[in-house]
């Protein structure tokens, strides 16, 4: 089945955006010194799309996700989720944060199960909870490690446990902040493939922050490039590569190179302004 975002484009159906950023800016203070993290940003995230966000370090990518999850308020402007202004924790999104936040006193299985102990998920039958936990642990390749504690796992395995924990919730929208950043190339490709397999045809909206342009183009329906601080959108590209995609092969398509050149030019301009990409 084709992904939701693709169907929309083919049929030309306009749908309400699932997330809207309207004139959003954010200033932080380092002591008395203001740091303008985000400039005025306007963006509509389409329901069912996989949107990748790339940009230099410190341009406000994590801040954008924090605000979408309702963990941080915008300085100016508003963020709407399904038409409602986000005020307080947005429980309709799952958030895979950049920082490792597995609970050290819980095993892999207990960590992955955590979202099913909260909100309406508490009322799922135990059998369903168990089946979901096992399914997502298997999907990220951690079968056999259910009873290990985070400190007994490698960095990559901890990331995979976090990934399983964000998927087990089966939310309408997923926010992922550099989920594969620290992983070796081979594992990264394997998890990207798993993520695509899970997402394609699911109808879910996924906002993926990444510093890896190849990853962004391989996976996304749309890529946005942000400038260095204060973060603003400097380029947006629709990635019209066919689905389902094979992450191992897609980079060899001629059209992939065209997207890469176009977006890399936008990123490079940002670097010239004195920020680093990593």
Residue closer to Mg ion, measured from CB, 62 or 205 = 62
Q: Is residue 210 within 8 Å of residue 226, measured between CB atoms?
A: no
Residue closer to ligand ADP, measured from CB, 59 or 223 = 59
Which value, to the nearest 10 degrees, does the dihedral of the CA atoms of residues 244, 248, 251, 254 take?
-70
The pattern of x and - marking residues 5 through 44 that bind ligand ADP according to CB under 6 A reads: -----------------------x------x-x-------
| Cross-strand pairs, 19 | 45, 81
Sheet of 233-238, strand order: 93-96, 173-177, 205-209, 50-54, 222-226, 233-238
Q: Which of 5, 39, 60, 74 binds ligand ADP (CB under 6 A)?
A: 60
- Asked whether position 62 contacts ligand ADP by CB under 6 A, the answer is yes
Smallest gap from Cβ 35 to ligand ADP, in A, equals 5
Residue closer to Mg ion, measured from CB, 62 or 107 = 62
CA 237, 240, 246, 250 dihedral sign is negative
Smallest gap from Cβ 94 to Mg ion, in A, equals 17
Residue closer to ligand ADP, measured from CB, 23 or 73 = 73
| Cross-strand pairs, 24 | 41
> What is the C-alpha separation between 40 and 84, in angstroms, rounded?
20
Which residues here bind Mg ion, judged by CB under 5 A? 61-62, 98
The pattern of x and - marking residues 213 through 232 that bind ligand ADP according to CB under 6 A reads: ----------------x---
Smallest gap from Cβ 9 to ligand ADP, in A, equals 28
Q: Is 277 exposed, middle or buried (0-12, 13-18, 19+ CB in 10 A)?
A: middle
Residue closer to Mg ion, measured from CB, 18 or 209 = 209
Whats the size of the chain, residue-wise? 278
Residues that bind ligand ADP (CB under 6 A): 28, 35, 37, 55, 57-63, 229
């Amino acid at each position: 089945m084709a992904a939701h975002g693709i169907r929309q484009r083919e049929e030309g159906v306009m749908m309400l955006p699932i997330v809207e950023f309207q004139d959003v800016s954010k200033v932080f203070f380092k002591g008395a010194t203001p740091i303008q993290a985000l400039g005025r940003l306007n963006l509509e995230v389409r329901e069912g799309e996989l949107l990748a966000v790339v940009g230099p370090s410190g341009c406000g990518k994590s801040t954008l996700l924090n605000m979408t999850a309702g963990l941080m308020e915008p300085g100016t402007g508003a963020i709407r989720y399904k038409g409602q202004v986000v005020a307080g924790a947005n429980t309709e999104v799952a958030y895979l944060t950049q920082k490792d936040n597995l609970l050290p006193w819980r095993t892999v299985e207990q960590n992955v199960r955590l979202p099913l102990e909260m909100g309406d998920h508490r009322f799922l039958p135990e059998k369903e909870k168990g089946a979901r936990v096992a399914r997502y642990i298997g999907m990220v390749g951690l079968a056999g490690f259910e009873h290990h504690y985070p400190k007994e796992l490698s960095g990559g395995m901890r990331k995979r446990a976090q990934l399983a924990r964000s998927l087990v919730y089966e939310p309408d929208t997923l926010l992922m902040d550099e989920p594969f950043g620290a992983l070796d190339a081979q594992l990264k490709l394997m998890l990207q493939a798993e993520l695509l397999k899970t997402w394609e045809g699911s109808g879910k909206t996924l906002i993926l922050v990444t510093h890896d342009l190849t990853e962004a183009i391989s996976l996304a329906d749309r890529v946005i490039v942000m400038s260095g601080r204060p973060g603003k959108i400097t380029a947006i590209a629709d990635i019209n590569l066919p689905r389902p995609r094979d992450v191992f092969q897609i980079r060899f398509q001629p059209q992939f190179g065209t997207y890469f050149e176009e977006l890399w030019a936008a990123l490079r301009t940002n670097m010239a302004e004195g920020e680093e990409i990593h």
